[in-house]
Amino acid sequence: MAKGILIVVSAPAGCGKDTILEQALKADPNLYYSVSATSRAMRPGETDGVSYYFKTRDEFKRMIAEGELLEYTEYVGNYYGTPKKAVNDMLEAGKDVILKIEIEGAANVKKMFPGCTMVFILPPSFAELERRLHKRGTETDEVIKQRLETARKELQYAENYDYLITNAALEDAVDDFLAVVRAEKCRRENREGVVGDLLAE
Amino acid sequence: MAKGILIVVSAPAGCGKDTILEQALKADPNLYYSVSATSRAMRPGETDGVSYYFKTRDEFKRMIAEGELLEYTEYVGNYYGTPKKAVNDMLEAGKDVILKIEIEGAANVKKMFPGCTMVFILPPSFAELERRLHKRGTETDEVIKQRLETARKELQYAENYDYLITNAALEDAVDDFLAVVRAEKCRRENREGVVGDLLAE
């Protein structure tokens, strides 16, 4: 069986990446979502082991020390990281693994897996992004202002990504994402040996 | 409006590229198929202006002399070429243009349009390719033997292509092709200016 591909997804807060990935995972049973670990507080509606593995700072530091993380980073005062074992096991089993990580972590993964597929999700506009953050209703105006500023900074790293998907209409963005995964599996680099096998016939 | 993308498709005879492209064109109305010109004889079931623009050798030579072709090549004793004007007009109009050309012509187009998307269609096996060529019933055993040898040679150029699509089941191959087109339109190189426009807001 061919190994799975590794897809790194980043997006500023409020761009809808969670919803896009949720729908994509429903549509493509070969996708596996790698749940990240974090030391940040659980938000309303989140579930431990689904949204994130929620850890204390001390627990997180132990995972770092014992080499259990593929990458980790500190972001807005909290740790975020990717547990290593599940990712490797799933790739070996032929699953296509999604890592949802912020730009710094994404850059670290790219160094370790140069062949990974990097996807950045864009808002249709900053006006719409602000509207969505307000609608979410989980952050204060001050935090929203900070998130918009962070979004502007993050967008400057979009040029490090292979694909830019604009989330204007959710369904289109989901279809774009699914197409990226399907197309990447057809890329020559991800079909190693296929021509050699044919010619050896 | 964003410019369309240029998709170059090559495949050994009998790999089903015509059927794949026909179905893809039905499914995606933004695709435009660039009809090639050729000096080869029309085959049963072919239509002038649809399958190819059928030209005499002299007519073809005039087109070459007057610079009307994007690329042309001689293949198994016949001329094949791509009329230039329609391709440029359609790309400007935002259409995604498909060029179905053999490997030499494809390499020439790649030189002129380094950003074009190169797709190679593979047979599931040589045994199956041979079966399909016999089933087609348009060539003698001798010609089929020659085509299989040509196919082996062509496959060695597959490494110059961005995507390798195996036509084992037609529907899957069509979906792969459509995914490649959709994903390519999300590639950063094909979304020039999108981040800058957002940041300028």
- For chain B, give every domain's residue range: 6-187
Measured in Å, how far apart are chain B's first and last C-alpha atoms? 19
- Residue B34's pLDDT is 95
Q: Given CB atoms, is A78 within the 8 Å cutoff of chain B?
A: no
| pLDDT (0 to 100) of residue B136 | 80
Q: For strands A53-54 and A37-38, give the pairing.
A: parallel
Please indicate whether, in this complex, the C-beta atoms of A176 and B182 are within 8 angstroms of each other: yes
Beta bridge partners of B165: B121
Evaluate whether A28 touches A181 at the Cβ level (below 8 Å): yes
- The fold for domain B6-187 equals Rossmann fold (3.40.50)
* Terminal CA-CA length for chain A: 18
Q: What's the pLDDT score for residue B88?
A: 93
Which helix H or strand E contains A83, and what residues bound it?
Answer: strand A78-83
Measure in Å the smallest separation between the Cα of A18 and chain B Cα atoms.
19
Class of residue B153 by CB neighbours under 10 A (exposed 0-12, middle 13-18, buried 19+) = exposed
Separation CA A151–CA B89 (nearest Å): 38
Give dist(CA B145, CA B1) in Å, integer.
Answer: 48
Which chain A residues contact residue B178 at CB under 8 A?
Answer: 179
CA distance A148 to chain B (A): 11
Burial class (CB in 10 A: 0-12, 13-18, 19+), A114: exposed
A45 to chain B nearest CA, in Å?
Answer: 30
| Closest CB to A198 among B126, B183, B188 | B126
- The pLDDT value given to residue B72: 92
Q: How many CA atoms lie within 13 A of B35 on its CB side?
A: 10
Residues within 8 A of A (CB atoms), B 145-164 only: 152, 155-156, 158-159, 161-164
| Residue of B155, B164, B199 with shortest CB distance to A188 | B164
pTM of the shown model: 0.91
Of all residues in chain A, the one with the smallest CA distance to B153 is A199
**A90-111 pLDDT per residue, tens:** 999 999 999 999 898 899 999 9
CB contact under 8 Å between B179 and A186, yes or no, is yes
Encode chain B (201 residues) as per-residue pLDDT tens digits: 679 999 999 999 899 999 999 999 999 999 999 999 999 999 999 999 998 999 999 999 999 999 999 999 888 899 999 999 999 999 999 999 999 998 988 999 999 899 999 999 999 999 999 999 898 877 889 999 999 999 999 999 999 999 999 999 999 999 999 999 999 999 999 998 999 999 998
- pLDDT score recorded for residue B62: 97
The complex's ipTM works out to 0.91
- Looking at CA atoms only, how far is residue A192 from chain B in angstroms? 10
Low-confidence ranges of chain A (pLDDT < 50): none
- The beta-carbon neighbor of B163 closest among A125, A162, A186 is A186
What 3 state SS string does B29-72 have? CCEEEECCEECCCCCCCCCECCCEEECCHHHHHHHHHCCCEEEE
Among B195, B197, B199, the strongest candidate for a mutation testing the A interface, having the largest count of A CBs within 10 A, is B195
H helices present in chain B, as ranges: 17-27, 57-65, 84-92, 103-112, 126-136, 141-155, 170-186, 194-199
Residue A92 and residue B183: Cα distance in Å, rounded? Answer: 25
- B200 touching A, CB under 8 A? no
Q: Nearest Cβ partner of A187 from B127, B162, B182?
A: B162
In chain B, the residue whose alpha carbon lies closest to the alpha carbon of A125 is B198
Chain A residue with minimal CA distance to B188? A163
CA distance A58 to A61: 5
pLDDT for res B137 = 79
User: Which residue among A127, A180, A201 sits closest to B183, beta carbon to beta carbon?
Assistant: A180
Please answer yes or no on whether A183 and B188 come within 8 Å at the CB atom.
no
CATH superfamily of A6-189: P-loop containing nucleotide triphosphate hydrolases (3.40.50.300)
Q: Which of B136, B101, B142, B146 is nearest to B119 (CA)?
A: B101
